[in-house]
A and B are shown apart, each in its own frame.
Chain A
Amino acid sequence: MIRLKINGVEDEVAAATVGELLARRGIEANARFVAVAVNGTVVRRDDWGEAPLHPGDAVEIVRPLQGG
């Protein structure tokens, strides 16, 4: 288990990579229109499976919503 800040909320998660974290959150690797950043840097979709997570990392998981 590592402690992460996920979308602004601290949480303990058993995930070693971005891909594992997304899977635990119910987001599949082929989920459309989802984007992820770790510590202010975008992690490209192709790299989700390999991108490592470290204790204290700040992860942003976003998608488009209605807007003006």
Chain B
Amino acid sequence: MSSDPFIIAGTALSSRLFVGSARYPSQQVMLDAMAASEPCMVTMSIRRISLEGYAGSLVDLLGDRYRILPNTAGCVTARDAILTAELAREALGTNWIKLELIGDRDLLYPDVEQLVHAADELVRKGFVVLPYCNEDPVACQKLADVGCAAVMPLGSLIGSGRGIANPAAIELVCNRSPVPVVLDAGIGTASDAVLAMELGCDAVMVDTAIAKAHDPVKMAAAMKAAVAAGRSARLAGRIPKKSFAEPSSPQLGLIAT
């Protein structure tokens, strides 16, 4: 048992990194990247069966090695998101769902009103709900209040690689959330993941930053190290920021000519 367990809904997870399974240059690169990043969860979408991508047997490849977290990506109504979650439960045999409810197709920004409604209903139906949400302490509190097992606030827009646009808001969410906080969306490089963990996030979700990196496998390893470094720094406790210099070397015994 880890001395620093990461637990969602009573389940101890194997790491503090969630990864996506989309946008990789090839299936083999994806598998190699996942071997390097050692994620606790791999996200997948649920799509109509005629839309066949290269991932013909993706679950066969991933299901034995990783915990699969289906999402409701692309859903714009609570009704579609709820049905997608129910289809995911039937297809994959898991009651865990990454709940995404999009309010703007260009920004992929969450629709908080529908998100809370859908989360409430899914919790009542027995789902473990992890909502992709705004970096808003009130929205996150409402999601926790209806029974979400964690919250997944956005660092910045999905796929934008812009990092954590509002670190103060993420820190507020982390300080006040009664459930684990998984930073989702916007991670561009390893330092963004370090910052998320230093701010108090319990875990980080990364897809594009790994899949679209020049060397996805190397970036996957960097993300694993970043999450570990950021978590250690958080537990170690950073020094307070000061306005003036504070000498590191002793002030006594200084020569004077």
Contacts and interface: CB of A to CB of B under 8 A. Distances in A.
Contacts of B46: 35, 62-65, 67
Contact of A64 (B70, B86, B158): B70
Given A7-B49, A40-B83, A61-B48, A66 B90 contact: no
| Range class of the A interface residue count | 20 to 34
Interface stretch (B18-26, B164-172, B173-181, B233-241): B18-26
A34 B207 CA distance: 24
A32 B71 contact: no
Most interface-central of A37, A42, A63, A68 (chain B CB within 10 A): A68
A54 to B, nearest CB: 19
B23 A68 contact: yes
B44 A42 contact: no
Nearest to B71: A67
Nearest to A40: B83
Interface string A29-68: 0001111110010101100000000000000111111111
Contacts of A64: 44-47, 58-59, 68, 70, 88, 91-92
Interface string B76-93: 000100011011111110
Contact of B90 (A8, A45, A67): A45
Interface in B40-66: 43-51, 53, 55, 58-60
Interface string B113-150: 00000000000000000000000000000000000000
A66 B60 contact: no
A62 B21 contact: no
A42 B90 contact: yes
Contacts of A27: 49
A66 to B, nearest CB: 4
B97 to A, nearest CB: 12
A60 B48 contact: yes
Contacts of B86: 37, 42
B88 A66 contact: no
A63 B49 contact: yes
A11 to B, nearest CB: 11
A68 B22 contact: yes
B208 A60 contact: no
Contacts of B48: 7-8, 60-62
B59 A68 contact: no
A32 B22 contact: no
Most interface-central of A27, A37, A45, A65 (chain B CB within 10 A): A65
Contacts of A37: 83, 86-87
A18 to B, nearest CB: 12
Interface of A: 7-8, 25, 27, 32-37, 40, 42, 44-45, 60-68
22 contacts: A7-B48, A27-B49, A35-B46, A35-B88, A36-B90, A37-B86, A42-B90, A60-B87, A62-B48, A62-B49, A63-B91, A64-B44, A64-B70, A66-B24, A67-B71, A68-B20, A68-B21, A68-B23, A68-B43, A68-B45, A68-B71, A68-B208
